[in-house]
Structure 1
Amino acid sequence: MSEKLWGGRFSSDITDDVLRYTETASVDSRMLEHDLWQNIAHVLMLGYAGINTESDTRALLAGLLEMEGTRADGGLKLDIRQEDVHLNTEFMLIERIGPVGGRMHTARSRNDQVQTDARMVTREWLLDASEELLLFAQDLLGCSEAERETVLPGYTHSQAAQPISAAFWKAAHAQALLRDAARLMDSWKRININPLGSCALAGTTFGLDRDYTSRLLGFDAPMANALDATSTRDWTVEVAASAASGAVNLSRMQEEIVTWSSNEYALVEVHDSFATGSSIMPQKKNPVVAELARGKSGRAVGALVQLLVMEKSVGLGYSCDLQEDKPVYWGALDTYLDTIRLCRRQNLQTTFNGTRGRELCWDNFSTATEIANILVSRFNTPFRTAHRFTGDLVNAALAAGHTLRDVAFTTAFLRDEHDIEISEADMRQICDPLNTLRSYISAGSTGPARVAEQQAQSLSDVAKRLTETRQMRSRLGEAKAESLRTARSVVSGESLTEFTMEVGV
């Protein structure tokens, strides 16, 4: 006969290799705190609804509070022989208080349990990841005033384009991080709804108060349909998609760090604490955190694909296919959060070489567009004609081995070929990358004043969103505190009915 908690119908237990193949306890440890919190809320509701007696409710809560204390001290471990976190906590409770522990699982299934736990873990991860993204954006936007005039070559098609500033580059990546945080938190309203009480798929004949458990667990409301509540995994796909998009954004940022830190560019210096050397080449300094951020983005992308494939062929109603979400889902979320944190720390100690950036802009004709703009604004030349004249100039300079530094050649060419008179001193000012940077005035541009506006506006947005995120975290803390406080009051002898009426259930 099977010794499993579900084993009444079975004449023998599963074999060890089947257990190893089917268990999830090895990846469920992160849900242990939330499973205990959920158990306490469920037991309180069963007692309040009159489904369990007050004496049984006190016994169950006393055991659960003892287990929660042991967990908080690091002494509660999951056993894979009990398959998952839910059977583990139930088995531990029965061991502590005897057969009455079996009353905890009334009007509940592992199907609604796992969905509830996973949503509870995910919403805390959402708060952690969102806060880290906002702090990263805050760091980027709060760079020194001097970086608004630290010249870098901007690139399109991997070719030098126009001068930008380090602060402008940071502000651009900060905008992406802000969108990443917004995407994550937009999923909150679809995640913070309560599956508990849906049971296996059809609900139950017991008169549950799902609003009560929703409040105790910090959810906004119960899920509307029990079959949907236990079946859906679209919310994991949504979070994984946001994580994949965010990881790709970080990868793009780190790609620039890797490229620009090479000797050929020499635009960026990564701090030694975020680099390693070569086992054979003594001169090497490899930006390994940035490189791994690129590589690890694949985990988030891969998890998204695996979740979609896992879900696509599973109809409504629970199937064990769905338990394959956790290893890839948790792994992707952990890796993404680690990457945010490390890239943020790396950024704080990364320096940009504006002198080198200015040299590259000179050498790569990055200010040629400004010559065309001057022809438009000062000489009333149609832009397409000005573009042609400037292109002729660049072509001739390249053929003759000149750059825009050679203002004598530049001014002579425009005078002789196109009858345009610009003094050498004037041309030097027009083509100087720093002067060009300072001259940008359009909204959203790289001009120092415009970058300052972008920083101020976005920093205000960051502060507001950080406050909102921390308030949401505080509400979750208050919900758990209320659950534990209520449980302790019942265990100490207070009537559950009177207590719940007192707190306005």
Structure 2
Amino acid sequence: MTEKLWGGRFEEDITPDVLDYTLTTDIDVRLVFADLWQDIAHVLMLSARDIIPETAARSILGSLLALQERSERGELNLRPEFEDVHLNIEQMVIEDLGREVGGHMHTARSRNDQVSTDTRMYLRRVQLESVRANLALIDTLLSFPEEDLLAILPGYTHSQAAQPVSVAFWKTAHASMLLRDVRRLRGAYDRTDESPLGACALAGTSFPLDRQVTARLLGFGDVLSHALDATSARDYLIESASAFAIGGNNLSRMAEEVVVWSGHEYSLCEVPDAYATGSSIMPQKKNPVVAELARGRAGRTVGTLVQLLTMAKGVTLGYSCDLQDDKPYLWNAIDTYLSTLKVIAGQTRGLTFDSTRGEDLCWDNFSTATELANYLVSDHGIAFREAHHISGSLVSALLKRGSTLRDTALGAEILAELGHPVEEAVLARIFAPRNAVTSYTSPGGTSPDSVRDVRDELRRTADAHRRWCADTEQKLDDALRATLRAAREVAGGADAAKVLATVVAELPPLTQA
């Protein structure tokens, strides 16, 4: 007969290869803190509701507190023969207290609601860390020097030179995009922050549980009330994976620009030496490998999203072991996303731009041709579509003569021939890339004042997210401290119902309350 905790109906044990195929202990290491926390909260509630004997609850809580201290010291190791984190911790308690006492811990609970609770608790930490990492990169992007406001770069559409922009304009654009990633992460947090604990296997239980108490002890904002949905749901994982994939793609877009612009043909920027490597054969090379890897590793986050969607789509309501395969892929996406955020922040701090080169490219690529069209509209009263045609004709004529907008004398001559004379001094002013950048004064434009306004707005938004992050982390810390305090008091002989009434009253109410 098998000695597994679930093995009452089985006459033989699973084979070593089946155990190896099904175990998750290597993956579950990240969930130990959450499993211990929820074990303690669950036992406190069971004792307060007189579902398990008071003496058993005290002993179990003492055992769990000892395991929690071992875990904090890094001394708690999961054993593969017990399959997963849940059975490992239960087995440790039973080995400590015996099955007659330790066996009470799993009352009114299933691994189905346990794993969802653990994963949500871990994901909350990851989402908060991701928000912090994004805000750190955003702060780096927004902490640009004043000279970046007029450090010229060519803007691009269709990978072709478009209109001139500034380094500060480019940095604030990426900061704006990253703030949407923060909003996505916060939205995912809201859907993750619902407690499934107490849903049991799928149908609830006949025991008089208090799911609201355990939710508050675990720092959740709400209870996911429907038992079947609570144990079946994996959309919160998929939503998180989506946020990581979109965020990875946004980092990849920034990395792509750095890779391309650092090449000799552009020579617009240079990455710090610490974020580049050389060639094993070509001594002149400086390869922007961090940006290249960031661009490539976005594929991991996208792959995880597709894998999770594929995994979940064919699973009916109720737990199936298909869902066990969510965590290995998600953990990889998490590690990839967080490490990329942090290394890109370091690279960005040392990134330098060549404004002279940027200005030259703007001249050579006719980037300010639009300014002639705008001038003809505002000062000559010509309809924009006609002014656009005149400007295009000037560009065509200059190209045929092997010249650029820098040759303002030739430009004035051609415009006169077209019947729309403009003084050379005026052309020199409106065609200058720096003047064009300062002239775009519309909200969100490239002018220094417009960029400063956007930066101020982005900083205010980032500060609000930073406050939310700090408040949320404080809420989780307070909940953990309250749970451990209650466990110590009950283990020491105090009445569980009275202790919980005091402790829970100090915690924030649930959203639905």
TM-score by length of 1: 0.98
Determine the C-alpha separation between the residues in 1 that align with 2:451 and 2:159.
23
Tell me the CA shift for residue 188 of structure 1.
2.1
**Letter in structure 1 aligned against 2:378:** S
Tell me the CA shift for residue 306 of structure 1.
0.8
Q: Is residue 2:463 matched to residue 1:475?
A: no
Superimposed CA distance per residue, residues 264-314 of structure 1 (whole angstroms, 9 cap, x where no aligned partner):
101111001111111111111111111111111111111111111111111
2:194 matched residue in structure 1: 193
Task: Report matched runs for 1:416-431 at 5 Å.
Answer: 416-422=417-423, 424-431=424-431
**Letter in structure 1 aligned against 2:293:** L
Gaps of at least 5 residues in structure 1 are none
1:136 matched residue in structure 2: 137
1:364–1:207 Cα change, 3 Å: same
1:290 matched residue in structure 2: 291
Tell me the matched-pair count. Answer: 504
**Residue range with higher mean Cα deviation, 90-99 or 449-458:** 90-99
Tell me the CA shift for residue 417 of structure 1.
2.3
1:330 aligns to what SS in structure 2? helix
Q: Is the 8 A contact 2:412 2:427 kept in 1?
A: yes
Q: Is the 8 A contact 1:247 1:336 kept in 2?
A: yes
1:172 matched residue in structure 2: 173
Tell me the CA shift for residue 381 of structure 1.
1.4
Superimposed CA distance per residue, residues 219-255 of structure 1 (whole angstroms, 9 cap, x where no aligned partner):
1222111011001111111111111111111111110
**Letter in structure 1 aligned against 2:434:** L
**Residue range with higher mean Cα deviation, 160-169 or 494-503:** 494-503
**Residue range with higher mean Cα deviation, 264-273 or 128-137:** 128-137
Q: Is the 8 A contact 2:213 2:504 kept in 1?
A: no
2:342 matched residue in structure 1: 341
Q: Is the 8 A contact 2:138 2:178 kept in 1?
A: yes
Output the aligned Cα RMSD.
1.1
Superimposed CA distance per residue, residues 164-220 of structure 1 (whole angstroms, 9 cap, x where no aligned partner):
001101111111100011011012222111100111011111111111101100012
1:327 matched residue in structure 2: 328
Tell me the CA shift for residue 145 of structure 1.
1.4
Q: Is residue 2:252 matched to residue 1:266?
A: no
**Letter in structure 1 aligned against 2:68:** E
Determine the C-alpha separation between the residues in 2 that align with 1:367 and 1:335.
40
Superimposed CA distance per residue, residues 91-141 of structure 1 (whole angstroms, 9 cap, x where no aligned partner):
111122222111111110000000000000001111110111122112212
1:148 matched residue in structure 2: 149
2:509 matched residue in structure 1: none
Determine the C-alpha separation between the residues in 2 that align with 1:12 and 1:416.
97
Determine the C-alpha separation between the residues in 2 that align with 1:312 and 1:504.
38
Determine the C-alpha separation between the residues in 1 that align with 2:437 and 2:501.
67
1:203 matched residue in structure 2: 204
Q: Is the 8 A contact 2:108 2:207 kept in 1?
A: yes
1:11 matched residue in structure 2: 11
1:164 aligns to what SS in structure 2? strand
Q: Is the 8 A contact 1:142 1:455 kept in 2?
A: no
Q: Is the 8 A contact 1:115 1:195 kept in 2?
A: yes
Tell me the CA shift for residue 501 of structure 1.
3.0
1:64 matched residue in structure 2: 64
Tell me the CA shift for residue 318 of structure 1.
0.7
**Residue range with higher mean Cα deviation, 115-124 or 53-62:** 53-62
Task: Report matched runs for 1:32-181 at 5 Å.
Answer: 32-99=32-99, 100-181=101-182
1:264 aligns to what SS in structure 2? coil
2:451 matched residue in structure 1: 451
2:235 matched residue in structure 1: 234
Determine the C-alpha separation between the residues in 1 that align with 2:504 and 2:477.
19
1:461–1:419 Cα change, 3 Å: closer
Determine the C-alpha separation between the residues in 2 that align with 1:86 and 1:439.
64
Determine the C-alpha separation between the residues in 2 that align with 1:129 and 1:260.
28
2:155 aligns to what SS in structure 1? strand
1:489 matched residue in structure 2: 489
Tell me the CA shift for residue 418 of structure 1.
2.1
Determine the C-alpha separation between the residues in 1 that align with 2:400 and 2:457.
46
1:162 aligns to what SS in structure 2? strand
1:294–1:7 Cα change, 3 Å: same
Tell me the CA shift for residue 369 of structure 1.
0.6
Determine the C-alpha separation between the residues in 2 that align with 1:288 and 1:441.
37
1:254 matched residue in structure 2: 255
Gaps of at least 5 residues in structure 2 are 506-513
1:382 matched residue in structure 2: 383
2:468 aligns to what SS in structure 1? helix
Determine the C-alpha separation between the residues in 1 that align with 2:226 and 2:422.
77
Determine the C-alpha separation between the residues in 2 that align with 1:419 and 1:222.
71
Determine the C-alpha separation between the residues in 1 that align with 2:316 and 2:197.
20
1:300 matched residue in structure 2: 301
Q: Is the 8 A contact 2:486 2:503 kept in 1?
A: no
Determine the C-alpha separation between the residues in 1 that align with 2:355 and 2:130.
32
Determine the C-alpha separation between the residues in 2 that align with 1:142 and 1:283.
32
Determine the C-alpha separation between the residues in 2 that align with 1:294 and 1:502.
52
2:8 aligns to what SS in structure 1? helix
1:7 aligns to what SS in structure 2? coil
2:74 aligns to what SS in structure 1? coil
Q: Is the 8 A contact 1:19 1:83 kept in 2?
A: yes
Q: Is the 8 A contact 2:217 2:504 kept in 1?
A: no
**Residue range with higher mean Cα deviation, 19-28 or 89-98:** 89-98
**Letter in structure 2 aligned against 1:334:** D
Q: Is the 8 A contact 1:194 1:223 kept in 2?
A: yes
Determine the C-alpha separation between the residues in 1 that align with 2:416 and 2:128.
62
Determine the C-alpha separation between the residues in 2 that align with 1:363 and 1:453.
30
Tell me the CA shift for residue 54 of structure 1.
1.7
1:9 aligns to what SS in structure 2? coil
Determine the C-alpha separation between the residues in 2 that align with 1:207 and 1:325.
32
**Letter in structure 1 aligned against 2:181:** D
Determine the C-alpha separation between the residues in 1 that align with 2:363 and 2:501.
76
2:31 matched residue in structure 1: 31
Q: Is residue 2:364 matched to residue 1:398?
A: no
Tell me the CA shift for residue 372 of structure 1.
1.1
**Letter in structure 2 aligned against 1:297:** A
Determine the C-alpha separation between the residues in 2 that align with 1:297 and 1:131.
19
**Letter in structure 1 aligned against 2:185:** L
**Letter in structure 1 aligned against 2:178:** L
Determine the C-alpha separation between the residues in 1 that align with 2:72 and 2:22.
28
Q: Is the 8 A contact 2:47 2:57 kept in 1?
A: yes
Tell me the CA shift for residue 504 of structure 1.
5.3
**Residue range with higher mean Cα deviation, 111-120 or 310-319:** 310-319
2:418 aligns to what SS in structure 1? helix
Q: Is the 8 A contact 1:389 1:418 kept in 2?
A: no
Determine the C-alpha separation between the residues in 2 that align with 1:220 and 1:407.
65
TM-score by length of 2: 0.97
**Letter in structure 1 aligned against 2:472:** M
